[in-house]
Amino acid sequence: MRGPAVLPGPHSPVGVPLMRSPRDEFDALVLSVVHRLDERWHDELGLVEFAVEETPMVPDDWAAATVPLASLVRGSGGTPTRLVLFRRPIELRCEDRSDLSAMVLTVLVEQVSELLGRAPEEIDPSYEAD
């Protein structure tokens, strides 16, 4: 048998993996890159809140030709720095899973680079500007 009737679901036996939604896949990808960056830059990053949102909220008079892929809001006082990736604009620029992985890595490395005031290549040696 093939099709939705045989795919794992909430009533599947224990041990059968559930399907993950594209949103869950994206979140897992972001989390893996964040963990990798945090292992290397934990002391310098300090308190940073990483988040994923569907789309950015842009003003009605937005004049740029493109939509932002991420947002970095520096914290102050007791408020942590917040780094947000926008899932839909990133996904729409990618053709497949490897493009998506590369784009998430690129966006996160560039944002952490800006936050720490270091070159992207220093943040992650596998970074490629293209």
Q: Are 104 and 33 in contact (CB under 8 A)?
A: yes
3 has pLDDT over 90: no
Q: Which pLDDT does position 1 carry in this prediction?
A: 44
Q: Rounded mean pLDDT of 88-103?
A: 94
Read off the CATH number of the domain in which 118 is found: 3.30.2010.20
Total number of domains in the chain: 1
Residue 116 confidence (pLDDT): 95
Handedness of CA 127, 40, 48, 30 (dihedral sign): positive
What is the mean pLDDT of the segment spanning 5-12?
62
In a domain, 28, yes or no: yes
The encoded tokens of residue 29 equal 């990808």
Name the least confident of 15-24, 50-59, 82-91, 121-130: 15-24
Give the pTM.
0.82
Contacts with 68 (C-beta within 8 Å, 6 or more apart), sequence order: 56, 58, 86, 89
pLDDT at 5 over 90: no
Range of the domain at 35: 19-55+67-123
Instruction: Give a yes or no: residue 1 inside a domain.
Output: no
Q: Is the pLDDT of residue 88 over 70?
A: yes
